[in-house]
Amino acid sequence: MDKDRFAGAAKDAAGKVEGAIGNLTGDAKTEASGRAREASGTVQNLYGQAKDAVRDASEAAVSYAKDAADSDLYRDGAQAVTKQVRDNPLGALLVAGGIGFALAMLLSRPAPRRRPNRWGY
């Protein structure tokens, strides 16, 4: 757990207590201060939860990437491509050039033409 979650929960609890005390005593300033502290604690707690979620997701992504890199399927595919390129380098060069040309054509398409303004301005 993140330290922001602990600090946020503490602020939230303190704000609830302060708001309740202000409400019981009729002191609007203390009640408002307590509500503000409670809101601040809630925001800090949510921030800590978001940081934890991002950390967990990144750790899972790294784990999946390591598993994929260690996979026999990945290694077999890489070896098959390497063998094909060694056996037929000209064909591999032509295929790579064709893919590059197709990508260049897709990415450099001209923008669609705009119709001229009917009223001239």
The rounded distance, in Å, linking the Cα atoms of 110 and 100 is: 18
What sign for the dihedral angle of Cα 6, 9, 12, 13?
Answer: negative
Q: 12: which 2 tokens?
A: 């939230």
Q: What is the pLDDT of residues 17-36, one digit of tens each?
A: 888 888 888 888 888 888 89
Q: What angle do CA 39, 40, 42 make, to 5 degrees?
A: 65
Q: What is the pLDDT of residues 38-90, one digit of tens each?
A: 898 889 888 888 888 888 899 999 888 888 777 777 788 888 989 999 999 99
CA distance 38 to 45: 10
| pLDDT exceeds 70 at position 121 | no
Furthest C-alpha separation in the chain:
87
For residue 8, the model assigns a pLDDT of 84
